[in-house]
Chain A
């Protein structure tokens, strides 16, 4: 429970100086520099335009590199944006393209990014710190030594490496201003984390529960107050008390986080991260809305309370820390290094403030406690004894109680955001567990939320015990188990890529087709890729424009393609992809990634994740891990991303009982930053309605396309276009084949196979001089007969006498019984009688059984397992008429 390695740091972003300019159209202010300070540390970092910075991204160890071009914010100062020029790290370049470099990339090498497919506007709050970037000439060797400096030599436009133009080149940037030395900054590998170490060591060293003392006392005080509060709540402001009911009971940390939650719920940037931080819970969004509603309610009640109470009105906004008010407060606090005294500071006064090393962690903790402390005391003071709007508040309190759990869950999520400087100590852990006991009591009142509660408790424990990961986007819901995993997967695939084997190559070359028929046969093979797909022009156009528009817009979407087998679904999509790839190569559309998976080519639906991940990044991972990685990839606002086109063939095979694979596949495109186009293929038109549950079908959307079976004209056209002027078939023969196939299935594969077989038959019968050397009607007829005629009648004709007699006996017995089923014993009696009629020696039971088994093995008869002996039941697998016809023809 108590091992934690790194302390999470909270950064505060502030504009420095006055706005440089004001854009009236967009209502944005442009600034010259941005100050980043870490709470609890007095130093600030200044980011100026033109500086190189690190931006947090998917990979903790390799944050994105960029150069600031412009900094601007909106009027309120809440939204801070930066326009940047991206650089690509070696690990971000696809492994396959690294070969283009022609040399081993230097680990600290970055490339000037010239691709167009990424968004160059980022949230300023994702900036981690400045970094030093040096430009090197093409031939210059990489200097070693300083591990924090990155080097640029080439530019990368997602297809090729180019030598960097001198005007684009980042002039060797000024090192970070001396006022903000690096150690004050939040650590981010590859540089060793200088700030994290002392910060995390701080709480570890602090073994004696000095601050916890205060907490305990406060908790005790809180208990008393709760008593009072609840009592008063009965009479007066039930809602107010209820809102604090849990809060007062909870430890300082809990209280703090609940308070922060309200703050975070209102700050859009943080809220977004909240959503991202909990990828498993789809219901999060809904709860978010709920919590916001709740917050509004809370706010209104606060207002009410304020109006009613005689308490100092300035206390509440501070404690319930509305978004905007809060950040300056913390900033001020950290800047001054002192704390504004509150009523609760009486307790604080007992803290051994004089402790010699004033570590930042210590200060953070104390401040956290102080924050928490002030929370329970003040509202109680503010609670009025009487209220005229009792009924309204009762109702709202009831609602609150029901939503309480959702609240708590949110708390947990905001833990990671809010309590950055909160260091769990043993005492607090205890108090948090006692806290859980409290919650259990509450939950007994709310039985319906059992499941949530269990989950909540579990992950709450995890979140208190889990080391705070230093990046805020890393959610606290991640269990500690996964944290080490994360470290193992930095981009590079573990297995060497050359390991995939192939079928050994021929020792003798393949022979080329020698005559017209062989040539025709080669062209007619299904595998030979035609120059174009005839008869699917409309479908091609539709899919093409769908995918193209999504790629150009940088959005995502789903499409469902249905059709019976052999109607060219997969072939058309591949054709579309070839064309789009070509268009991307000549720069008509932005580049994109194409990934194909096939439900039939995997052993388990969850393997879909593994295959997608492997094809996207080359990483190998287990299904669960791959799902998590993909989830992150598609939901994180990684700005530099190409559109991904995902083809899911044989979609119905991805069905699972909970349908979570399908759900994810269709949910990702709806994410804002996903840029994922999903094309799905299956056979039945009504698959979404038949097998998908509503939430999956809804996400799939209504972009559907159905491939009709080919008509005979189309089939004819297909064959003709494939033959491509190789004269091997008579026109009538072609028409016969296509009409026959169109009438049966419209399967182009079947049509081609029949034609191939017909060429073989023609070749064999080429000896007779009357033939024109072309495939004629007779050959096609023979091929059709071979493929479509059922062998049952022939099989009965070729059966031995006893077998035929047995079949006859079966029919006789069926007629006698008036049923389509009889036991062997009954049939055997008939068989014996028939033998006598035919003048044959009657067979023994064993022999009769052997005859019966032989017929059963061919599936002329359907039998029960043979261990039932004479009791096994017998059915015909052919119609009685067929049997009689076959037997009569002798």
Chain B
């Protein structure tokens, strides 16, 4: 490899592309932590100091990391832990417990998980925990036995912290935070949540025990920063085997982010959401279009990827409907217009449809009632319509009240793109707007 580097050898283009895909995928799929969390330096410092004090001085702490989805909360924590564990003192001492509110849905499971992650279950031999109560008493006893200077600090990471607040009596939170506020084994409780009102969820006793440290991740990058970020995310590192290819690739990325249409697409994305996760999604779609024949990301790729990202899911479903189902949808739309969003039933829709048929005196779509019924049910299965209340099972299906789950714009868009849509149906659909 090094020999090749010295010779500035050119790799075959196919291999280069494979390498590029590999590097960028690892980067875009969050498998690799960035060296520095972008734009979060102060938060990083704050958290690192805090956890370091727990690990080194045995000081108990509690902190919440709050930020919208995709803002890099977990990434921040992971970076901090990585940096923390570089220190030998911390690495040898710190015990970690990772809990997730979506996995540990109640305190019983959470306690078992904590016991498992602290490797305490083998202390009692093969004794299986009898009851939840025993388990709690056991764990509290264990934590109580420790003290600040002699026992190893424990880091509790509670992902989706707000979900823990919904546990009965908030027993787990109370106990963890109580340990953090009393002279027991040193613990650091780190909660991660996207809810801004998380403190209001806490019961007053639990709240009083929480230290009220919150680290907010509310970064507000400007568009030029966003563009720069796109460029760095796509750029190849300097140690890429084929220097020539890397240079070409980086140049093409540079032209891409300066291209007018590409910038427009990116601006639209930036307007929609500023987080990195959606940007990575977009870039991932672009990357998958890179091939040997086209060894660069072009603005057209970006456009296509953007189109995929922004396409309307419901409108896409409408494209696959039969003409009859489409007619029923249009009838529903008319009913919605007439009755101002009041719910309807199959009979009403059928009548509306029949009116259209009579007006056209055209027997082409003259279907039997069971066929109409089947189409209606299909629409319900696709959740394009939904019953007003699911409990009304006793009502005959024809008379069950329904609501349309589509916006008018979606219907019109679907009609525009519907392959070989009959003109009279199109006209019928339009007629409502007159």
Contacts and interface: CB of A to CB of B under 8 A. Distances in A.
Interface of A: 499-513, 518, 521-522, 525-529, 564-566, 600-604, 607, 610-611, 650, 653, 683, 747, 749-750, 753-754, 756-757, 760, 764, 786-787, 790-792, 794-795, 797-803, 825, 828, 832, 840-841, 843-847, 850-851, 854, 857-860, 867-871, 877
Which 3 pairs between the two chains have the least Cβ-Cβ distance?
A565-B208, A501-B123, A502-B145
B171 A499 contact: no
A597 to B, nearest CB: 11
Nearest to A745: B208
A802 B269 CA distance: 10
Interface stretch (B210-218, B253-261, B320-328, B344-352): B210-218
Contacts of A508: 89, 92-93
Contact of A528 (B183, B216, B409): B183
Given A527-B181, A800-B273, A610 B133 contact: yes
B109 interface: no
Contacts of B209: 565, 749
Interface stretch (B25-33, B56-64, B237-245, B368-376): B56-64
A566 B315 CA distance: 56
Given A500-B142, A600-B174, A854 B273 contact: yes
Interface string B410-430: 100100000000000000000
Nearest to B174: A600
A803 B151 CA distance: 48
15 contacts: A499-B127, A502-B146, A510-B150, A600-B174, A601-B136, A601-B137, A754-B212, A786-B214, A791-B214, A795-B196, A802-B273, A846-B312, A851-B273, A859-B197, A868-B386
Interface in B83-141: 89, 92-93, 95, 107, 118, 120, 123-124, 127, 131-133, 136-138, 140-141
B194 interface: yes
A764 to B, nearest CB: 7
A525 B57 CA distance: 12
Interface string B184-222: 111000000011110000001101110111101011100
A503 B347 CA distance: 69
B142 A797 contact: no
B407 interface: yes
Given A505-B150, A868-B386, A869-B314, 10 more contacts: A503-B143, A504-B152, A507-B152, A511-B89, A518-B57, A564-B204, A749-B209, A753-B212, A800-B273, A846-B314
B55 to A, nearest CB: 9
A683 to B, nearest CB: 7
Given A565-B208, A600-B169, A749-B209, A800 B274 contact: yes
Given A502-B146, A566-B208, A846-B312, A800 B272 contact: yes
Contacts of A525: 59-60
B434 to A, nearest CB: 19
Given A499-B124, A502-B146, A603-B133, A791 B216 contact: yes
Contacts of A845: 312, 314-315, 407, 409-410
B289 interface: no
B263 interface: no
A95 B214 CA distance: 46
Instruction: Tell me what chain B mostly uses at the interface: helix, strand, loop, or mixed.
Output: mixed
B233 interface: no
A293 B234 CA distance: 96
Contacts of B57: 510-513, 518, 522
Interface in B143-168: 143, 145-146, 148-154
Contacts of B406: 870
B380 interface: no
Interface of B: 45-46, 49-50, 56-60, 66, 68-69, 89, 92-93, 95, 107, 118, 120, 123-124, 127, 131-133, 136-138, 140-143, 145-146, 148-154, 169, 171, 174-175, 178, 181-186, 194-197, 204-205, 207-209, 211-214, 216, 218-220, 268, 270-274, 310-315, 383, 386, 403, 405-407, 409-410, 413
B386 to A, nearest CB: 8
A867 B390 CA distance: 14
A217 B58 CA distance: 85
Contacts of A840: 271
A336 to B, nearest CB: 58
A888 to B, nearest CB: 16
Contacts of B92: 506-508
A526 B181 contact: yes
B212 to A, nearest CB: 4
A642 B18 CA distance: 80
B218 A798 contact: yes
A507 B90 CA distance: 10
A653 B174 CA distance: 12
Contact of A858 (B145, B196, B211, B312): B196
A850 B407 CA distance: 15
B154 A603 contact: no
B68 A854 contact: yes
B145 A500 contact: yes
A764 B50 CA distance: 12
Contacts of A787: 212-214
A114 B57 CA distance: 47
A764 B131 CA distance: 47
Given A802-B272, A871-B405, A844 B59 contact: no
A500 B141 contact: yes
Contacts of B178: 600-601
B142 A792 contact: no
Contacts of A794: 216, 218
A500 B141 CA distance: 7
A197 to B, nearest CB: 38
Contact of B59 (A522, A602, A611, A795): A522
B137 A611 contact: yes
Given A683-B205, A764-B45, A870-B407, A854 B118 contact: no
A510 B53 CA distance: 10
Given A565-B207, A798-B220, A845-B407, A526 B95 contact: no
Nearest to A623: B133
A783 B409 CA distance: 50
A760 B120 contact: no
Contacts of A509: 149
Contacts of A756: 211
Nearest to B50: A760
A683 B133 contact: no
Interface-central residue, A504, A505, A518, A564, by most chain B CB under 10 Å? A504
A509 B185 CA distance: 14
A806 to B, nearest CB: 11
A346 to B, nearest CB: 63
A747 B216 CA distance: 24
A747 B405 contact: no
B69 A500 contact: no
B405 A844 contact: no
Contact of B405 (A521, A790, A870): A870
Nearest to A753: B211
Given A525-B60, A791-B216, A857 B195 contact: yes
Contacts of B196: 790-792, 795, 858-860
Contacts of A683: 204-205
B323 to A, nearest CB: 23
Contacts of A749: 181, 208-209
A800 B270 contact: yes
A285 B89 CA distance: 66
A527 B183 contact: yes
B216 A527 contact: no
B142 A529 contact: no
Contacts of B95: 503-504
Contacts of B270: 800-801
Contacts of B141: 500, 502
